[in-house]
Amino acid sequence: MAVSGKRNRRYALGLDYGTESVRALVVDCTDGTEAAEAVVPYSHGVISRVLPGGSKELPPDFALQHPGDYLDGALKAVAKVLEKVDARDIVGIGVDFTACTILPITKDGTPLMQLEKFRSNPHSWVKLWKHHAAQPEADAVNRVAAERSEKFLKYYSGLVSSEWMLPKCWELATHAPEVYAAADYVIDAGDWIVHQLTGQFTRNSCAAGYKGLWNSELGFPSQEFLTALDPKLSSLRDKWLTNIVAPGAVAGRVTKAFAAKSGLIEGTPVSAATIDAHSGVAGMGVYREGPLCLIMGTSTCHMALSRELHLFDGYAGVVKDGIIPGFHGYESGQSAVGDIFGWFSKHFMDTPFDELSAKAAALKAGQSGLVALDWHNGNRSVLMNANLTGMILGMTLETRPEEVYRALIEATAFGTRAIVDTHVKNGVPVTELVVCGGLVKDPLIMQIYADVTGVPVKVAASGQAVALGAAIFGALAATGSTDVETTITRMTKPPVRTYLPVPEARATFDRLYQVYARAHDLFGRENAQLMKNLKALRKETLHG
């Protein structure tokens, strides 16, 4: 055990599970100083073609992972940070996990893929959040729920995603009934990690609410509804954990066995898990109404807080106490942002990216005469339609690559403005954007977002806001405190940069946004079938 610096510090450990790796971040509970950090990639990565050791091609839209990678990665990451801090100074642990990522397990927590008889069955493996093979089940859930006027639908804008718990469980029951029957529980991966640390089964209220159709007033979907979907699902409620615990509350304590493997101290409190993006709200220092928090990377997640509940169409989910206790937390999102910029740069450019960005920055708002629709990976909010596709309007023989690139940036900003306007129109205040993630390093993108939305854009101080949020919840678990505001204030720092709207650009973008809004409704609402038909034709041509 290495000891560095002053002893008797109070640290919290955040374990941040992303799509490709796990990050361990140790944070000083008194002032938010980030004392140690380590990142460990998953050795098997995302499994989308064949299972390790296998040869059979996986079905389309599969995205699997090996649960052993999560534990191995955590042990390696923890070992690295313990080279810089003393385990005895870590007073609490928090966990965030990308969602909805699930796995079937036995009653002692063993993943079914670790049992020899199920190892070659892909349905026994972890199904990652971006596993989209349950789309037929999601479509049926939406149809039957609408026919029955199920009350839970209003908390999700009337639509359930194929990424969520119920469609994936139904897919499991349909395509691998033997795995489904053998599963004592189908568990969210974040809750499974907490169980591995503590030996306790809990279900975090964040993932249960946003991805599991749980509501503090309604509970989970009824037995009658599940049976109406499929008689095979009559036992599903028995496979769902129902011991709901909020992030920041103690889910359990580090066991003797895990302490021996990890070097952590037996008895250290562990918070209930949370979703990675939602953890970032606390890590960005937000605990009140007004800010719209953006986690900006390949896609963008948007989170807002409201004291009052407002129900409307256009958000992915609203959960009471789902993000910060005392607030209704609204989740929205854009399915592709950084991925759009990467797609354009990779496939259509021979100019160095820095040069392209510099040329785009030299353009004035409206100079290119272009408006794009940012639907290259469908539309999550506000249209909730995965069949929509991207489009660029206004191209001529004079259009230059930097003009197209800038139009794509503007399109993603317009998509965020659509989310902002929908929130504000329906009573959820948005007074500023607070941002984190890889894209916040680009001043051009940040300034365009400020000019398009008309509100300040504030860049969060921590480059690891998501992991910091997990550590904050670990600190809360350590003290048993419910004073979230004080803990967040103590452990986060003010924004490192603020971008203010430029009035002249704002006026031009208002005009451009009217064009975007018209195209948005024309192709996203009135004629949405057009893009769906094109996708169907492409699939038919490619695959017959």
On whether the CB atoms of residues 97 and 273 are closer than 8 A, the answer is yes
Asked whether the predicted pLDDT for residue 509 surpasses 70, the reply is yes
Beta bridge partners of 104: 186
354 domain-assigned: yes
* pLDDT at res. 354: 87
* pLDDT at res. 1: 46
The domain boundary, picked from 242, 275, 308, lies at 275
* pLDDT at res. 544: 66
Are 97 and 26 in the same domain? yes
On whether the CB atoms of residues 70 and 42 are closer than 8 A, the answer is yes
**Distance between CA atoms of residues 109 and 50, nearest Å:** 25
**pTM summary value:** 0.94
478 domain-assigned: yes
Residue 453, phi then psi, degrees to nearest 5:
-85, -20
Helix (H, G, I), strand (E, B) or coil at 413: helix
Are 269 and 291 in the same domain? no
**Res. 539 pLDDT band, cuts 50 70 90:** confident
Q: Beta strand pairing status for 300-306 and 328-334?
A: antiparallel
Give the Å distances, CA to CA, from 220 to 34, 165, 208, 215, 427: 38, 11, 9, 7, 27
Which of 304, 523, 282, 321 lies closest to 419 in space, CA to CA? 304
The domain boundary, picked from 275, 308, 329, lies at 275
* pLDDT at res. 324: 95
Q: Rounded mean pLDDT of the chain?
A: 96
As given in the structure block, the two tokens for residue 78 are: 């923890």
The domain boundary, picked from 209, 240, 275, lies at 275
1 domain-assigned: no
Domain count, the chain: 2
Percent of the chain residues topping a pLDDT of 70: 99
Are 539 and 406 in the same domain? yes
Are 61 and 119 in the same domain? yes
Q: Which residues contact 46 (CB under 8 A, 6 or more apart)?
A: 19, 20, 63, 64, 65, 128, 130
Q: Which domain holds residue 164?
A: 11-275
281 domain-assigned: no
Asked whether the predicted pLDDT for residue 2 surpasses 50, the reply is no
Are 205 and 319 in the same domain? no
CA 170, 172, 178, 179 torsion: positive or negative? negative
Are 412 and 542 in the same domain? yes
Q: Mean pLDDT over residues 264-276, rounded?
A: 98
5 domain-assigned: no
Amino acid identity of residue 439, one-letter, is: L
Are 234 and 328 in the same domain? no
Beta bridge partners of 186: 104
On whether the CB atoms of residues 152 and 218 are closer than 8 A, the answer is yes
Got the DSSP string for 24-78? EEEEETTT--EEEEEEEE-SS--B-SS-TT--SPPPTT--EE-HHHHHHHHHHHH
2 domain-assigned: no
Are 266 and 298 in the same domain? no
Are 255 and 358 in the same domain? no
On whether the CB atoms of residues 74 and 39 are closer than 8 A, the answer is no
Say which range, 114-118, 270-274, 539-543, has the weakest mean pLDDT: 539-543
- For residue 542, the tally of other CB atoms under 10 A from its CB is 7
Are 187 and 306 in the same domain? no
Asked whether the predicted pLDDT for residue 294 surpasses 70, the reply is yes
On whether the CB atoms of residues 293 and 286 are closer than 8 A, the answer is yes
Are 369 and 269 in the same domain? no
Asked whether the predicted pLDDT for residue 299 surpasses 80, the reply is yes
CATH number (domain holding residue 179): 3.30.420.40
Residue 374, phi then psi, degrees to nearest 5:
-90, 50
As given in the structure block, the two tokens for residue 432 are: 């500023």
Q: Helix 443-453 crosses helix 503-521 at what angle (to 10 degrees)?
A: 80
280 domain-assigned: no
C-alpha torsion angle, residues 273, 279, 282, 283 (rounded to 10) = 120
Are 472 and 448 in the same domain? yes
393 domain-assigned: yes
Which of 168, 77, 76 lies closest to 470 in space, CA to CA? 77
